[in-house]
């Protein structure tokens, strides 16, 4: 019997629009390998919404259409197997109205600077024990309640949470508001590609961004978004149109106008 690990991605859609749910089954351990030919069941609460079989890459897909605005939690579990055993996993389905503005949040601006310590292996990063910046969760929650939907961007730096599932778990434990989690590359082209993909999917209402790094600010200014950097960078010059906040309470005031 092989021990497997299930992961599932958060997805974004709007009410009445179909979205493709995606899960992956890999063997556990350092040399993870895809496990094909296994049935996965997708459920909302106690209600099954369908089954799909993993392919040779370990991936399984299922089409689903949410009917109401909001957030739904989908559980993905392995149907009883003679070859593989695995614990279920979860992902979030975000059904957002397209007219509500979206704010992009760079993970780096939510985390206190790391202690000087050796990083752990991939998937067990230092960030699991990191503390959030004071007031970040509370102020971002206020922004999400009255102004914005939130997309969190994990940019793959060595001292950050690298996997969407880990980032989502950390955000929940630290009481940040629910938001779509996206893992992207650390370079500016990955940010631009992310924005291009959102707009191509019809999300033209990405209006603001909150971050910490200079290249993040430069990219957001080029994309003509309102961008706030918190805290001010110790080195380097920010683009002229980027705003600076000393703390998260000031971030909220700037974005509320």
- The pLDDT score that the predictor gives to residue 186 is 62
- The pLDDT score that the predictor gives to residue 119 is 46
Report d(CA 89, CA 75) in Å as an integer.
Answer: 6
Report d(CA 221, CA 238) in Å as an integer.
Answer: 10
Torsion of CA 213, 176, 208, 102, to 10 degrees: 140
What pTM, to 2 d.p., does this model score?
Answer: 0.85
Cβ neighbours, 10 Å, residue 197: 12
Pairing of strands 19-27, 2-8: antiparallel
- The pLDDT score that the predictor gives to residue 130 is 74
Q: What is the H or E stretch that residue 61 is in?
A: strand 59-64
What angle do the packed helices 188-200 and 214-222 form, to 10 degrees? 40
- The pLDDT score that the predictor gives to residue 158 is 43
Q: What is the pLDDT along the chain (257 residues), one digit of tens a residue?
A: 899 999 998 999 999 999 999 999 999 987 889 999 999 999 999 999 999 999 999 999 999 999 999 999 999 999 999 899 999 999 999 999 999 999 999 988 998 876 544 444 444 344 445 789 999 999 999 999 988 999 999 865 444 445 677 788 889 999 999 999 888 876 667 889 999 999 999 999 999 999 998 989 999 999 999 999 999 887 778 888 999 999 999 999 999 86
CATH numbers and ranges of domains, the chain = 2-95 (2.60.40.10), 102-256 (3.40.50.1000)
């Amino acid at each position: 019997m092989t021990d497997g690990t299930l992961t599932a991605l958060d997805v974004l859609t709007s009410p009445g629009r179909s979205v493709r749910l995606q899960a992956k089954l890999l063997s556990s351990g350092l040399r993870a390998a895809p496990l094909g030919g296994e049935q996965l069941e997708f459920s909302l609460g106690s209600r099954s919404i369908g089954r799909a079989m993993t392919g040779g890459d370990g991936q399984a897909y299922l089409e689903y259409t949410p009917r109401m605005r909001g957030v739904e939690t989908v559980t993905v579990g392995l149907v009883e197997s003679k070859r593989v055993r695995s614990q279920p996993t979860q992902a979030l389905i975000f059904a957002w109205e397209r007219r509500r503005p979206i704010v992009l949040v760079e993970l780096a601006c939510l985390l206190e600077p790391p202690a000087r310590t050796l990083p752990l292996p991939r998937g067990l990063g230092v960030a699991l024990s990191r503390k959030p910046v004071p007031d970040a969760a509370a102020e971002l929650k206020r922004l999400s309640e009255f102004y914005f939907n939130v997309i969190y961007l994990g940019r793959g730096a060595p001292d950050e949470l690298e996997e969407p599932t880990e980032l989502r778990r950390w955000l929940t434990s630290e009481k940040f508001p629910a938001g779509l989690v996206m893992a992207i590359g650390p370079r500016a082209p990955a940010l631009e590609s992310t924005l291009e993909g959102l707009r191509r999917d019809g999300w033209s209402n990405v209006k603001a961004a909150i971050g910490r790094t200079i290249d993040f600010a430069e990219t957001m200014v080029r994309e003509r978004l309102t961008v706030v950097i918190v805290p001010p960078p110790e080195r380097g010059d920010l683009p002229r149109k980027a705003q600076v906040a000393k703390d998260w309470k000031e971030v909220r005031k700037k974005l509320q106008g």
